[in-house]
A and B are shown apart, each in its own frame.
Chain A
């Protein structure tokens, strides 16, 4: 190695006496990495706490799965933490296809398909509108835009309960109250503040020169959006999608208020199955139904990983 040679030629200049002193010093005393015990008190404290906390977080999921795989007799006799002696998938089948809500007995499947029919269009429509809004706010600010935006953001903090009845009236006037269309509109409305903020901040963070260059090249509002902004913003669209899919899938209040029973989303269906007062409580079916309802957002969560964190952080912390 030429570098070492170069250095050594210089190092040779050190006086021999000094070298002796250092040679002596080199023999004695600490050298290299500071020894650390893997089981130091500090590590035990940190990992101990984290493991206990992790168990606390995992416990409900574990109990849910175990319960759903047991038969009712075993549940009545055993304890909820014990793994099933005999695994049965019957509760899952029943939860999916024949559990009763008090109104009907076609299980969660009806709610699942309703939720799909609600979530897919709501996600698409809300993101499409919010991204264009955010783009207009970031790059084409017009007089009054900031005022509307401020109202929108403040509105995000207003409890839904304050606004649901007026929305019922508006939807009734439009003739879509109780239908899926109505619910899609509601999700678009309440998704708008956070999504618009998300997109506005993202577009505002893109280099302004890019936008100016496109303007100089003669591109207009829609051309810039579709040809320049959209292709550059895929990550933020994915983040918005995660946010919306989990948010809309998990919604309960809007589902109850704005749809007729035949369109109830999965969460409402689930609550009706579990908390229905008729008949004997079938805890295994209930837990299977609960897992089924949680499966979609959990799937999104585990697949998206870091993007989910980014999504909620972006959603939670402004800009």
Chain B
């Protein structure tokens, strides 16, 4: 069994009458890269600030390295933190930014120098050490901010949307660097973001959050392929999963979702329990799990009409009308369709998702 690095027990936080986090539990393994993913206001940053000790919790406990740190000051928790706005001290040089906390903590001079040169080497910021933050680009600033966490020589790194202030190109570059950093340092990292690409690419595990509650905690592939509920299914993936609201029907040993007057054969779906006839459900199919004009005879297929075509280079996104409902399908970039073309669709139900329409949980 792996060691637990950070452990959150029954954590609650409320501001007056507003509950931001509600009896939340979370264990993060040693060396794990955990991403807290959710839209703004879901409590992900709040949770991170609680772990850092920047917010006082209302109830519950926080353990870091098996030490109860619930009442500890941030500096005593063995954490380093990287902020969205970098939060570099603007009047100090890069070197001073890195050393300031260590000097205050009375770390020896030679040790400070050793740590700074190591961090500078890892992050390749040696040429920038004498500069002021204002003279750095956004990407460089974020490296320095990471450096400031690095020199603290801690076990746990906390990232609060560190790439949100960067443009798209830099963001993808730094994303790769953070991943590389994690691979070489093997520290525990907790990373807050609203960007699902960051979450999917970086994480060992993702915790998808909504309204202060973790909706699903799993590795990226599970989150993507087997979302635990309707919210996670809709939140992850772009364009979004296609949803069909309907009713389960059982005929001749086969199971169907009857939606908009169309029967979807879901016999191939790996359901967790037996289907109940008449249950109201939502069928979810990702755009890339639909084949266009490739159905072999005998396989269940559906007729649809091309509404709009969005060529994206590598892919081609088709917006179709199926029984009056709009849906999207991803096909190879070289296959082109004119609007109005009639097409035949076949669904890969083995990788689809079915949710109960009331509880919205996966069946």
- Pairwise interchain contact B217-A5, C-beta atoms closer than 8 A: no
23 contacts between A and B (CB under 8 A): A2-B360, A2-B361, A3-B211, A3-B213, A3-B215, A5-B361, A6-B216, A6-B361, A7-B215, A14-B27, A15-B1, A22-B4, A25-B61, A25-B63, A25-B68, A26-B9, A30-B68, A30-B70, A30-B71, A32-B57, A32-B59, A33-B58, A34-B56
Least distance between B142 CB and chain A CB atoms (Å): 29
B229 at the interface (CB under 8 A from A): yes
- Pairwise interchain contact B70-A29, C-beta atoms closer than 8 A: yes
Complex Cα–Cα for A7 and B68 (A): 24
Complex Cα–Cα for A154 and B59 (A): 57
Least distance between A210 CB and chain B CB atoms (Å): 27
Least distance between A285 CB and chain B CB atoms (Å): 50
- Pairwise interchain contact B68-A28, C-beta atoms closer than 8 A: yes
Least distance between A14 CB and chain B CB atoms (Å): 7
- Pairwise interchain contact A31-B70, C-beta atoms closer than 8 A: yes
| Chain B residues near A1 (CB-CB < 8 A) | 213
Interface of B is mostly: strand
Complex Cα–Cα for A102 and B20 (A): 69
Complex Cα–Cα for A22 and B211 (A): 26
- Pairwise interchain contact A10-B1, C-beta atoms closer than 8 A: no
- Pairwise interchain contact A33-B218, C-beta atoms closer than 8 A: no
Quick one: which of B66, B70, B213, B228 contacts A9, CB cutoff 8 A?
B228
Q: Can you list the 8 inter-chain pairs with the closest CB atoms, starting with the nearest?
A: A29-B68, A30-B71, A3-B213, A30-B70, A34-B71, A32-B59, A6-B228, A2-B359
Which residue of chain A has the shortest Cβ distance to B27 in the bound complex? A14
Q: Scoring B residues 54 to 85 as 1 if CB is less than 8 Å from chain A, else 0, what string do you get?
A: 00111111010010101100000000000000
- Pairwise interchain contact B60-A10, C-beta atoms closer than 8 A: no
A11 at the interface (CB under 8 A from B): yes
Complex Cα–Cα for A29 and B67 (A): 9
Given pairs A30-B68, A32-B59, 10 additional interface contacts (CB within 8 A): A2-B359, A5-B359, A6-B361, A7-B213, A9-B228, A22-B4, A22-B7, A29-B70, A32-B61, A33-B56
| Chain B residues near A14 (CB-CB < 8 A) | 27
Quick one: which of B58, B68, B216 contacts A10, CB cutoff 8 A?
B216
| Chain A residues near B7 (CB-CB < 8 A) | 22, 25
| Chain B residues near A30 (CB-CB < 8 A) | 61, 68, 70-71
Complex Cα–Cα for A84 and B221 (A): 81
Complex Cα–Cα for A127 and B156 (A): 58
A17 at the interface (CB under 8 A from B): yes
Q: A29 and B61 in contact (CB under 8 A), knowing A9-B228, A18-B27, A22-B7? A: yes
- Pairwise interchain contact B58-A7, C-beta atoms closer than 8 A: no
Complex Cα–Cα for A13 and B345 (A): 38
- A side interface size, CB within 8 A: 26
Which residue of chain B has the shortest Cβ distance to A34 in the bound complex? B71
| Chain B residues near A32 (CB-CB < 8 A) | 57-61, 70
Least distance between A94 CB and chain B CB atoms (Å): 52
Complex Cα–Cα for A34 and B50 (A): 12
- B side interface size, CB within 8 A: 31
Which residue of chain B has the shortest Cβ distance to A5 in the bound complex? B361
- Pairwise interchain contact A31-B359, C-beta atoms closer than 8 A: no
Least distance between A124 CB and chain B CB atoms (Å): 44
Quick one: which of B4, B59, B60, B229 contacts A2, CB cutoff 8 A?
B229
Complex Cα–Cα for A29 and B228 (A): 34
B210 at the interface (CB under 8 A from A): yes
Least distance between A312 CB and chain B CB atoms (Å): 27
- Pairwise interchain contact A31-B27, C-beta atoms closer than 8 A: no
- Pairwise interchain contact A10-B217, C-beta atoms closer than 8 A: yes
- Pairwise interchain contact A17-B1, C-beta atoms closer than 8 A: yes
- Pairwise interchain contact A33-B59, C-beta atoms closer than 8 A: yes
Complex Cα–Cα for A294 and B215 (A): 61
B214 at the interface (CB under 8 A from A): yes
| Chain A residues near B70 (CB-CB < 8 A) | 29-32, 34
Which residue of chain A has the shortest Cβ distance to B3 in the bound complex? A18
Most chain B C-beta atoms within 10 Å of own C-beta, residue among A9, A15, A30 = A30
Complex Cα–Cα for A33 and B55 (A): 10
Complex Cα–Cα for A2 and B358 (A): 9
Complex Cα–Cα for A15 and B216 (A): 18
| Chain B residues near A9 (CB-CB < 8 A) | 228
Interface residues of A in 60-77 (CB under 8 A from B): none
| Chain A residues near B4 (CB-CB < 8 A) | 18, 21-22
Complex Cα–Cα for A5 and B213 (A): 11
